[in-house]
Amino acid sequence: MVYFLLLISFLLHVFTFITIKVLKDRIMEPDDVIEKQAQQQKEMEELLAVYLLEIREENEKIVSMFEKQKSSSKKNNVSSPPKINNEQEKKYEKAVQINETVTSNEPEPITDYQPPIGDDFQDTVEQSLSAQVLSLYNQGESIESIARKLDSGKTEIELMIKFHKKNS
């Protein structure tokens, strides 16, 4: 009889220890999730910081280009833009238009609006930069070659690929 009671006691102890272990694991699961989320948040903050630094560098380049253009136009009394590529030229033209509208204090004369006539123009569809990056990456291109082809920064390409992988 004593052996029987010892056996039952032993089984109850084993069952109790297993139950305690399972409950402990369930309690620890939220902590693991919180740690994982904190790590992901830290990675995202780092990626955004790198992206912001790259944008800041591009802005500084554009500002220095404007200052060079401004100083050269004062010396030569000519307001011709410096030789730049198409993307930079578009940014320059937008900045010049904004600068002209800000500096002009005279009200512009009101003209009648004439909508474009005819269907002579066809709409063109262009892939976004991220779509081009992902397409080239899926074709097996390296990050460096993609950056060269699209005239973008290597870190920008890496960020787009990482964001796409995380969202997929």
Per-residue pLDDT tens listing for the chain (168 residues) = 889 999 999 999 999 999 999 998 888 888 888 888 999 999 999 999 899 899 999 999 999 988 888 888 777 654 455 555 666 677 667 666 665 655 555 555 667 777 666 666 666 778 888 889 999 999 999 999 999 999 888 999 998 898 888 887
What number of other Cβ atoms are within 10 A of residue 6's Cβ?
10
The residue ranges of every structural domain in the chain are 48-101, 129-168
Question: 13 phi and psi, to 5 degrees?
Answer: -65, -45
- Count Cα atoms within 13 angstroms, Cβ side, for 42: 6
